[in-house]
Structure 1
Amino acid sequence: MAKTSPGEFVNQVKTEWSKIAWPTRRETLMTAVLVVIMTSLLGIFFFGIDTFFGAIVQWLLSLASGR
């Protein structure tokens, strides 16, 4: 493997840096909003599932204890 000099490395980094396609401010904002919406929906969904199964377990435990 060939060794790269520090100057050549910096030039390669600059070249690669210029190839990056940075998202616009609008794209970043829309992605952030979508992430917040989806995590909120998933949180609500899993809260409902957890509540549902918790109620089933409580019902089964009450049957087992004879109350």
Structure 2
Amino acid sequence: MAKTNPAQFMREVRQEASKVTWPTRKETMVSTAMVFVMVIVSAIFFFLVDQILAFGVKLIFGLGG
């Protein structure tokens, strides 16, 4: 692996960073909101599945009231 000096490395990093297409503020906010929505939907789904499975186990084994 070829070694590069720190100055050359920094130049290459700046060059690559300039190629990046950064998201706009609106895109970031929409993406963040969608993540929160999906987290909430997933939490509700897994809660319901857990409740159904718990009910089934109680029904099968006669545990609890």
Q: TM-score, normalised by structure 2?
A: 0.87
Structure 2 gaps, min length 5: none
For residues 43 and 30 of structure 1, the distance between their equivalents in structure 2, rounded to whole angstroms, comes to 20
Match of residue 2 from structure 2: 2
Post-superposition offset of 1:25: 0.5
CA distance in 1, matches of 2:33, 2:15: 32
Residues 1:28 and 2:37 are matched in the alignment: no
What is the percent sequence identity of the aligned residues? 38
4+ residue stretches of structure 1 with deviation over 2 A? none
Q: Over alpha carbons, which structure has the higher Rg?
A: 1
User: What's the TM-score, normalizing by structure 1?
Assistant: 0.85
